Structure 1
Amino acid sequence: MYLLPIFAVIIGYLISLILKPGSSSGFKLLLAFSGAYLLAVTVLELLPEVYQKPNSGIGVFIMLGLLLQIVLEFLSKGVEHGHLHSHKNSKSFPFLLLFSLSLHSLLEGFPLNQDNHLLHGVVVHKIPVAAILSVFLIQSKLSKPKISMFLGLFALMTPLGSWLHGNLPTLSKYSDYINAVVIGIFLHVSTTILFESSKNHSFNASKLGVIILGILLAYFI
């Protein structure tokens, strides 16, 4: 379980070397599929689970997660849902981007040891994000050691979140509230991917097909 998110980042990096994520139609289809799968798993499994117990304020924490993701995307410029804003003349290390993506990845790792379907969704989502991120880092003219350090930290954050949740009793005590925050994050990211997956918000048959496929797989698997 801990290795799958790391492999997803490695695959995303390899994709960035082969394809052009900003313009590849296949890449955009993968992004749309990941958004649909992540949304379906969140609505069908995570959301009912946090409302099964009589915990007060769950809805507030879901909204807090959504707002937190908006703030994180302000720092990351939307890499989480497929945006690519390269600064080819900048060689400075993007600390704000690293902080934003690391916190996002850390939080998404908390519920993964409770739900294999969610793990699959996060892995599928992480591949295009890692590809977009790799392109950004390469075009920013950062040195290879800095790129490796950035991607390495990014890859480790999700497994770290899973490990912390499984080994720190304090976090387990508040797992429903943490999961509610993660639900808010996933709802924002996945719906943004779906609404922005097509130019002018229009869907062609291919994108509609992969979105339906993502939802069906999340339901039946």
Structure 2
Amino acid sequence: MNYLLLFLAVAIGYFVALFLKKKELRNMEVFLAFSGAFLLSITVFELLPHVFETPSKSIGVYIMLGILLQIFLEFFSKGAEHGHVHLHAQHKHFPWILFLSLGIHAFLEGFPISEENNLLLAIIIHKIPVAIILSFFFITAGYKRTTTLLFLFFFALLTPLGSYLASNYEGIHRYETQLTAVVIGIFLHVSTTILFESSKNHKFQLSKMTAVIIGIVVAYLL
């Protein structure tokens, strides 16, 4: 069921994008602010205490590696993980570089999902607005429906695949703490970037601030 929910998050994003207009897309910023706050809070409240059950400086090293990895991936994805999509309208072929960078991110974020944390919910909430924005730009840029659906289909499969491998292969499970620390770094970078962008130009927006506070409170109460 968890794997299906992760897949459906991207499918929901696509179908919502089909009915969106550009003006309505701006409202996604509030949802993104909520998702960023919720993902950050789950990371801080649940994942960080887990990896630091046995305090070690090496865990901090893995977290920093995760941050650096995400910075590197964003050179190619141009920030699609937090709602920015830059596709060249004149090129309608399959965007392999975007897919590979987003795919690595999506694959790794499935590793720490377990029954012991609420990360599944956080990732679903994070994926839906990203999938909406990604799908919307594919559609409006004039990409073939086949290209769009293939991209989204394989993108939707990668997080469930990462979660499945982490749960069923001892070789991966043996490095659970280190891999979780790397993913924490990825989440810290992505979620804080979303929050930083939600207060762009240092302008206070009540709707976004309210969404951030709600995201933090909901994550704490889970």
Task: Output the TM-score relative to the length of structure 2.
Answer: 0.94
Q: For 1:61-102, what per-residue CA distance to the aligned partner results, in whole angstroms no more than 9, with x for missing partners?
A: 000000000111111111111113232221121101110111
**Cross-structure match for 1:185:** 186
Share of identical aligned residues, percent? 54
Q: Which runs of 5+ in 2 are unaligned?
A: none
**Cross-structure match for 1:129:** 130
Change (3 A) 1:46 1:21: farther
Q: Aligned letter for 2:144?
A: S
Aligned length: 221
* Structure 2 residue 152 is the aligned partner of structure 1 residue 163: no
CA distance in structure 2 between the aligned counterparts of 1:120 and 1:101, rounded to whole angstroms: 19
Q: Which runs of 5+ in 1 are unaligned?
A: none
Contact 2:93 2:147 in 1 (8 A): no
**Cross-structure match for 2:42:** 41
Contact 2:46 2:117 in 1 (8 A): no
Q: For 1:96-150, what per-residue CA distance to the aligned partner results, in whole angstroms no more than 9, with x for missing partners?
A: 1110111101100001124441111100000011111112222343221221111
Task: Output the TM-score relative to the length of structure 1.
Answer: 0.94
**Cross-structure match for 2:82:** 81
CA distance in structure 2 between the aligned counterparts of 1:22 and 1:193, rounded to whole angstroms: 20
* Structure 2 residue 153 is the aligned partner of structure 1 residue 152: yes
Contact 1:65 1:184 in 2 (8 A): yes
Q: For 1:172-206, what per-residue CA distance to the aligned partner results, in whole angstroms no more than 9, with x for missing partners?
A: 10000000000000000000000102441323111
* Structure 2 residue 177 is the aligned partner of structure 1 residue 176: yes
CA distance in structure 2 between the aligned counterparts of 1:98 and 1:77, rounded to whole angstroms: 11
**Cross-structure match for 1:217:** 218
CA distance in structure 2 between the aligned counterparts of 1:162 and 1:98, rounded to whole angstroms: 19
CA distance in structure 1 between the aligned counterparts of 2:35 and 2:217, rounded to whole angstroms: 12
**Cross-structure match for 2:95:** 94
Q: Aligned letter for 2:11?
A: I
Offset of residue 158 of structure 1? 0.4
CA distance in structure 2 between the aligned counterparts of 1:10 and 1:75, rounded to whole angstroms: 24
Of the structure 1 ranges 110-119 and 167-176, higher mean CA displacement relative to structure 2 is found in: 110-119
Contact 1:22 1:84 in 2 (8 A): no
**Secondary structure of residue in 2 paired with 1:57:** helix
Q: Aligned letter for 2:95?
A: P
Change (3 A) 1:27 1:115: farther
CA distance in structure 1 between the aligned counterparts of 2:97 and 2:160, rounded to whole angstroms: 21
CA distance in structure 2 between the aligned counterparts of 1:211 and 1:54, rounded to whole angstroms: 30
**Cross-structure match for 2:20:** 19
Change (3 A) 1:95 1:115: farther
Contact 1:6 1:155 in 2 (8 A): yes
